[in-house]
Structure 1
Amino acid sequence: PFIAAQVSELAAVKAKANVTESRVEALRREGEAKRLAFSAALLESGAGNHGPFNTHTTMVFRHVTTNIGNAYSPSTGLFTAPVRGVYHFEFHIYGHGSSTNPTAAMLVKNGVQIFATYEKQSEGGQKTSNGVTLLLNIGDVVFMRLLANSWVHDNQEHHTTFSGHLLFTM
């Protein structure tokens, strides 16, 4: 009877330990999901223009300085929300003056334009920027799109950038 009681008690302790371990693991995953931030510049290195193209084009920001949570893909330019929450994005777009082509881009969520930037002057450098806070569901996709017939410039100083971070989960 004494050994049977100890075996029973040991089984109960093991069961509680397994439940506790599962809860700790769930809290760890939840905590990791709450840590999401990225910043990237258009060009990995060097200097160059992107555009103009005759259609809207996804901008792929390849020089990633921060990608906590790996929700931004430097190979596709897409940010995919891994958790439901409120996110903040900002983008800074640089270009050179042109009499024909503006410096213009838009932030897109799930294929729909949300906010845009636009600047057109005949000469000199030009910079335009914008930002937005969005409620995203798991799997929502946010990216930057170069407007048709517009162009941007980037160089080793990384003037053309796209950043975002999770403010809080919902």
Structure 2
Amino acid sequence: MEMTIFFPALLLILKRVAFSASLLASGAETVGPFNSHTTLVFRHVVSNIGNAYNPNTGFFTAPVRGAYHFEFYIYGPGHASHPTGAVLTKNGAHIFIAYEHQPTHGANAANGVTLLLEVGDIIFLRQWQNSRIHDSQNRHTTFSGHLLFPM
């Protein structure tokens, strides 16, 4: 939904953009480990206002230039050889990582970032190589973002 505000000689369109998703659409699964960083596709979409998140690719594509905030929470089963980790990327470049290595029990990691994005910039998460990530109907592993304000 767009809201239009009229100012003398200025037309400003405020786009509403927000999404929140968990890794699995159904069931329970531990993903990985993989030999290289692997794109995570968050398939259980709770909200996708503005349709900027694509649950088929895992990509968020900025529809307007602005300041955006993203958060991601990663859960994995503890393992002596396999950590739990994911990195947030902007146009394929690593920005922030959430990483935990717990030899037993569960491992939780989280991070967040505010970024200035241009129209068409792509944000997504990659699973860290050699790591394991778990999700279930409890929605342990999530990815969310929203437009703070257009610029």
Give the CA deviation at 1:30. Answer: 1.9
* Structure 1 partner of 2:135: 154
Is 1:163 matched up with 2:144? Answer: yes
- List alignment gaps of at least 5 residues for structure 2: 1-5
Q: Which has the larger radius of gyration?
A: 1
In the alignment of these two chains, the number of paired residues is 143
* Structure 2 partner of 1:140: 121
TM-score (ref. length: structure 2): 0.92
* Structure 2 partner of 1:75: 56
Amino acid at match of 1:121: Q
> Does the residue aligned with 1:30 lie in a helix, a strand or coil?
strand
Is 1:47 matched up with 2:28? Answer: yes
**Which has the larger share of helix?**
1
Give the CA deviation at 1:126. Answer: 1.3
> Does the residue aligned with 2:53 lie in a helix, a strand or coil?
coil
Q: Deviations over 1:93-130 (max 9, x none)?
A: 00010010000100000111000011011110111100
**Which has the larger share of strand?**
2
Is 1:89 matched up with 2:60? Answer: no
Find the partner of 1:30 among 13, 22, 34: 13
Is 1:115 matched up with 2:124? Answer: no
Is 1:103 matched up with 2:81? Answer: no
> Does the residue aligned with 2:27 lie in a helix, a strand or coil?
coil
Give the CA deviation at 1:166. Answer: 0.1
- Structure 1 distance, partners of 2:92, 2:37, is 12
- List alignment gaps of at least 5 residues for structure 1: 1-22
Is 1:60 matched up with 2:41? Answer: yes
Give the CA deviation at 1:162. Answer: 0.2
Give the CA deviation at 1:151. Answer: 1.1
Q: Deviations over 1:120-143 (max 9, x none)?
A: 111101111000000000000000
**Percentage of identical aligned residues:** 62
* Structure 1 partner of 2:3: none
Amino acid at match of 1:125: G
- Tell me how large the CA RMSD over aligned residues is: 1.4
Give the CA deviation at 1:74. Answer: 0.2
